[in-house]
Structure 1
Amino acid sequence: MHAIRQYELGGPEVLRYEEVKDLEPGEGQVRIAVDAIGVHFIDTSLRAGFTSAVHKPLELPMTPGREVAGRIDFVGKGVDESWLGERVVAHLGMASGGYAEQALAAVGSLHEIPQGMSYATAVASIGTGRTTAGILDQAPIRADDIVLITSAAGGIGVLLIQAVNEAGATSVALAGGADKVAIAREQGAAMAVDYRIDGWDEIVRRKLGGNLATLVFDGVGGAPADAAFGLLAPGGRMMQYGWHGEEPTTYDDPDRTVSMMLGPQMMARPGGIRSLEEEALAKAGDGSRVPLVGSQYALSDAAAAHLDLVERRTHGKVVLVPDARL
């Protein structure tokens, strides 16, 4: 089979497309013939050497990637053979190994893909959809909220727009560039503004007619997040789930709460992470929160996918597809 291998820390160029030995599942595992692979921004950070309390240093050499969808073609000891041939999606946790034509997963991590759902949508749901469900679990949206969303054309941003609409609230989408603003509008944003335009925050303030945001979802950090915080009303909430710089932006205002939503907070939620995966797949299946798979790349082009994601040239969820499946 073919897989992406990483032997050293560094830029996208360290991702190598190579032929490797076929995988054999161990006890309680299955082998998935992969059709779609999720790419997450954290993948690019780990590749370059990012570590945290949750993310340990990479043990090199390794194959990146933790979100896969495909069909089971081999089962290990102790696994019911009725799994053979099933269409499944799985989050591999910290195990990695997803950027490949085959992946190993524990039976307990599997979800059957709903009938009619594509592999790409399923893999976007198990990763980005799961994260979005966790964000919304910590920051429920009220019908009277004015919700400002940074990175609104990204994988999570698109789902947050849909969630705001589902709640009957007002969405203010911030995106970088006219094409991404158009995507946010297509997803149903009540207002969509290009935050690369000088004075964009004053444009939002004017269009809101004197109102201010009551909830901010921020996945960018830096100057856009600072300006978004300036549009947050007293008593409002700012929920951060990522940033594009070296460090998250920090704030100090007792009248406006700021919370970081990922990591231990999400891992410790009642019901566990699996319940978020189930919710995300159910929402995608019933059409209420459907991931936008906006950027697809061949597995052999994983380095290009990482580069485009870091340079913010992608939109929606970024997905790799094994070359033989294209």
Structure 2
Amino acid sequence: MTAPTILFAAKPERWATYEPHLRLALSAAGVSDANLTLQADPAEVDYIVYAPNSAVQDFTPYTRLKAVLNLWAGVEDVTDNATLKVPLARMVDEGLTEGMVEWCVGHALRHHLGMDAHIHGQDGVWRNGDVPPLARHRGVTVLGLGALGEAVATALAGLGFAVAGWSRSAKDIEGVQTFNGVDGLFRALSSAQIVILLLPDTPATENILNADTLAQLPKGAMIINPGRGPLIDDDALLAALDTGHIAHATLDVFRTEPLPQDHPYWAHPNVTVTPHIASETRPKTASQVIAENIWRGETGAPFLHLVDRTLGY
């Protein structure tokens, strides 16, 4: 068997971070003879370890290519590439999942407990009048029940929250009341005091939070979006914040990143902007996912985490 050639196609500064982890993971997976490289003749490349913001955008010259292995969980910047004819695997990584769970749970608890009033209210006023409900009396809805959404919903249910979840297809998750379809979306939102968005960015999910769906939420609901910027109609959210129907929005992702300095979100008193940090791909655990898929490709086993490009995820 010829040793496979693996092209690392991401920002060059990421090479130093990933190379040692990839080599260790490939060795552990039984592919230690692989040629892992930053540069190669396209006609000799078997696998591309890929970031959508890399220089590789035309896959046509890669005539021996077996698979493209995405380093990011999101694949919306790849699925429409007409030159990509081989399997595309998205990143499903336990490190990424754990990081997302920690970030979402942290901000859900922050809003649930009303921490901002005390963190920002260091002005000599003794604010002891507001007592939050117990978690079991706080409705939290997770939109999107893929690997990340299911993990977040399960973690919040484990803390006692009354968790609902919505996805396009029916799901069954212990401790979580699940909904699907348009009617199910409205029902999932109707009791949601906190909404967490973890849907992929597809034509079917764009602006899923809009004037109509925001109106389904109880007054004073809070939004947490670590999913994708286009999931929210920004104008509709700002209007709902201005009227007080939505009490606060914590947003980690945006249509344009970095978020422009003149964007209204920066100055809005009821918006928290975080710089797309909810969960980063961890080189050590991501490399293990990549190495396993390369081993599978070399042994004839089916690839893991393949993208259905008709659905966009």
Compute the TM-score of the two structures, normalised by the length of structure 2. Answer: 0.46
**Which structure has the highest strand share of the two?**
1
Compute the TM-score of the two structures, normalised by the length of structure 1. Answer: 0.45
